[in-house]
Amino acid sequence: MVFMEASSRSVADVLIVTENFIEAADISDAIPGVSPDRIVHIRELHAGGHFWQDPEFAPALSVLSYRRSETSFDAVARLLVERGSALLLLDPSPEVQAQFECAALIRPFTAAGLARKIASIDFSGNGLKVGSDPG
């Protein structure tokens, strides 16, 4: 777990939820202009309970690996959307993608495909600056 100093956003600009550390690193690398210390990776939704309870936790982008076995998925995804987070779901069913009206990627995906998908997300409503220099 990465602990970060406070900024205009609580804890993180980007949340990544996937069991796969390499996939999380690839996703982090595909988000230009966001400092690595502003990206939080957790392996499973239940590990983020302290984030969901913090009303200030509102990442601009949440990349969630969809797992049907995670009973809290719908509630957490809804909570993140309500807090202004853009969603990018990994491997959702068409019904889940439609339910959240969000971007989706199906594994296996390429680095170029991932970068294109992230570039296509509209962050104008939540202030994330993708593609600008972090400094």
Query: Which pLDDT does position 3 carry in this prediction?
Result: 38
Q: What is the pLDDT confidence band of residue 64, given thresholds at 50, 70 and 90? A: very high
Helix axes 111-119, 21-29, angle to 10 degrees: 50
The pTM for the full model equals 0.84
Per-residue pLDDT reduced to its tens digit, 75-94: 999 999 999 999 999 999 89
Query: Which pLDDT does position 10 carry in this prediction?
Result: 61
Backbone dihedral region of 74: left (phi > 0), alpha (psi from -120 to 50 degrees) or beta?
alpha
Query: Which pLDDT does position 129 carry in this prediction?
Result: 63
Size (the chain), residues? 135
Query: Which pLDDT does position 12 carry in this prediction?
Result: 84
3-state SS class at 62 = strand
Residue 93, token pair as written in the block? 């069913």
Residue 101, token pair as written in the block? 């009206």
Query: Which pLDDT does position 123 carry in this prediction?
Result: 75
pLDDT at 62 over 60: yes
Q: Mean pLDDT across the chain, nearest whole number?
A: 84
Query: Which pLDDT does position 127 carry in this prediction?
Result: 65
Residue 130, token pair as written in the block? 């993708």
